[in-house]
A and B are shown apart, each in its own frame.
Chain A
Amino acid sequence: MPAVLIDDVHKRFGNLEVLKGVSLTVEPGQVVALIGRSGSGKSTLLRCINGLEAIQSGRIEVAGHIVDQDPKHLRELRKDVGIVFQSYNLFPHLTVSQNIMLSPRITQNVPQAQAETLAREVLAQVGLSEKFDSYPDNLSGGQQQRVAIARSLAMRPKVMLFDEVTSALDPELTGEVLLVMEKLAKGGMTMLLVTHEMNFARNVASTTIFMHQGKIWESGPSRELFSNPQTPELRNFVSAGAH
């Protein structure tokens, strides 16, 4: 069974159709990069996968859940699907460890002591063990984003979604976040990421999907796709460097 199955998905914002029949499958352990210009629909597609956006037609299945807009179904889905945002979105009134432990404690009834062990474990995974009791405001952007990744990991997700997670970061902070993601990928996590980091897509993602005008324009094994683009649109996109 694929980890993510997307079948002929259409999505409109009012009269604007942003996804025009998108289909793709992601196998467990696969790392898929979504690239394309702003407005090509890649972020919307990612947000549809955990139900943050509702679709008009088509079908999405993730880790055995059918994605619809029933709140109860969405909660079950989101226990298995983590998402990391461009703007980190940590909870500013909670410490790093409280950010991480909150959902396991209240949605999965993990006892306090066990939740603390879990928090230390995922913080170690992102290299921030010493920030256990810090508040988000006292961390750099790169550190906040790594905490956001740790917070998602504490849910023990089967699939992780990354929505332009390094776009708000200075170049010198981008690297530390990408390193954490690369480690996750090597550890066998199923990942879908929207990214402008072409090197990362080429080197870490096994598959890259180029989206254009709401459709999957071209897709394939990352190295091939970048070294030998078939369509003029992808050729332009790759030679322009990014964006």
Chain B
Amino acid sequence: MTTFGLPEALFILRAAGWTLVLTSVAFILGGLIGGVFAIMRLSQVAALRRFAAGYILVIQSIPVLMVLFMSYYGLSAMGVELPPFLAAAASLSIYVSAYLAEIWRGSIQSVPFQQWEASASLALTRGQQYRYIILPQAIRISLPPTVGFLVQLVKNTSIVSVVGFVELSRAGQLVNNATFQPFQIFTLVALIYFAICFPLSRLSRHLEQVMNASRPH
């Protein structure tokens, strides 16, 4: 039986790198899709609004684990073999898109409607209103909850270990299987999660305070 030493620790650290990669990919892809759904959710076209609302409702109502099972085992049963990383990244992106769409829809809607009226009265198109007036204000409003959600995402990436993708949690399990020193190993794993999430949590809190201090009136 091996003992927990430097090579094992490095193995865990490298896996932490994959957690970061997975988080980044899911956040960026999910953010792009979520942004589109947020705007669709507020479209003047009823069909787009309903479609976006339906998508968000469905994704938020099922565990991300089921999305993962469907995209990994489900697709492979139908003959489409996704590598674990792709299945994991796709599932997490879908999960992220539904939540960010809701967070951002709320942020867009908390820009006072008078800003829409004033900019419409200045002959701006709807696209120009979003670009120059609404989004710059909505993005500021959305920063604290978005960063807060990112913290959740870092931790939730651990569920992709069930399809055999080796990220931080899975690496901890593997090393523990070989060395059986759970206390040391999972303390290290927990510390790494903490080291990633703590600065993000502080950033979210800081952004919130900055926003409150500069909120007009």
Contact = CB atoms under 8 A, between A and B. Distances in A.
B191 interface: no
Interface stretch (B45-53, B122-130, B182-190): B122-130
A106 B128 contact: yes
A52 B124 contact: no
Interface string A147-171: 0000110010000000000000000
Interface stretch (B21-29, B79-87, B112-120): B112-120
Contacts of A146: none
A13 interface: no
Contacts of A103: 122-124
B136 A93 contact: yes
Contact of B121 (A50, A87, A90): A50
A52 B117 CA distance: 7
Contact of B123 (A85, A136, A151, A155): A155
A80 to B, nearest CB: 9
Interface residues of B, number: 20
Interface stretch (A3-11, A21-29, A71-79, A175-183): A71-79
A67 interface: no
Contacts of A89: 114-115, 117-118
A87 B217 CA distance: 12
A92 interface: yes
Contacts of B126: 71
Contacts of B121: 50, 52, 78, 82-83
A107 interface: yes
Given A85-B114, A85-B118, A93-B140, A75 B125 contact: yes
Interface in A40-87: 50, 52, 71, 74-76, 78-79, 82-83, 85, 87
B137 interface: yes
A155 B132 CA distance: 17
Contacts of B217: 137
A137 B114 CA distance: 16
Contacts of B133: 91
A82 B114 CA distance: 15
Interface in A177-208: none
B7 interface: no
Interface in A85-138: 85, 87, 89-93, 102-103, 106-107, 136-137
B216 interface: yes
A136 to B, nearest CB: 8
Give the residue among B118, B119, B132 with the most A Cβ atoms within 10 A: B118
A91 B124 contact: no
List the 3 closest pairs (A to B, CB-CB), nearest first: A89-B118, A103-B122, A78-B123
